[in-house]
Structure 1
């Protein structure tokens, strides 16, 4: 997935927990929890989220996640996300592309309520995460 437009959110942090949920015929299902800091719509924010990923060997991944983003001023946004991509067997490295769906009724983030945006998500071999939320840009 190639995204166009500008990022409306960006977060960096760490995977703080991971476990194998299920062994599949040609892969596994994992669960991981991340904590991160960053910005959403220009506001400093903190994030905590949990993802469930199905790894299909050797390197295909599909996943879904849920999370909460909060600001020091009391803004709150929750989300669900779905993504697909590639990972490295024997490592926590992944690169995923997908869609994130928001719910928020707080003043600064109310424009996100009920909206979906493209998202890119990466984890390196040392469990550092980096993800971006992109605006939709119409082709003209």
Structure 2
């Protein structure tokens, strides 16, 4: 049985430098929390700062880790989802090398094969970014 915390590579299809989150630390049917430490060789570091587009990828991978964890907990194969939309995306603080980020996602709604999640990304208690993502899950009947 898979238990928390779990390394992200155990619940995501992403490998090597494309796995952007380190650990899934909390997860239930509606929400998840992941952590990542931004080191010098993190794929989305430019100079010493996080590329703004990376916040969206961190949120999407946290959502994917949540879905993968829940699927494995039910004895199913993880679903392969696709990010299909971003709304209300705001950056409040730029993260830098050596920052540890906490990524939180919460399911807002599910319609057919589209799941809408809100996300917040924090460094310590500082809100770095927030918004909504839409994820397409083509195999929800598995």
- Normalising by the smaller structure, the TM-score range is 0.3 to 0.5
Q: What is the TM-score of this pair, normalised by structure 2? A: 0.36
Q: Which has the higher helix share?
A: 2
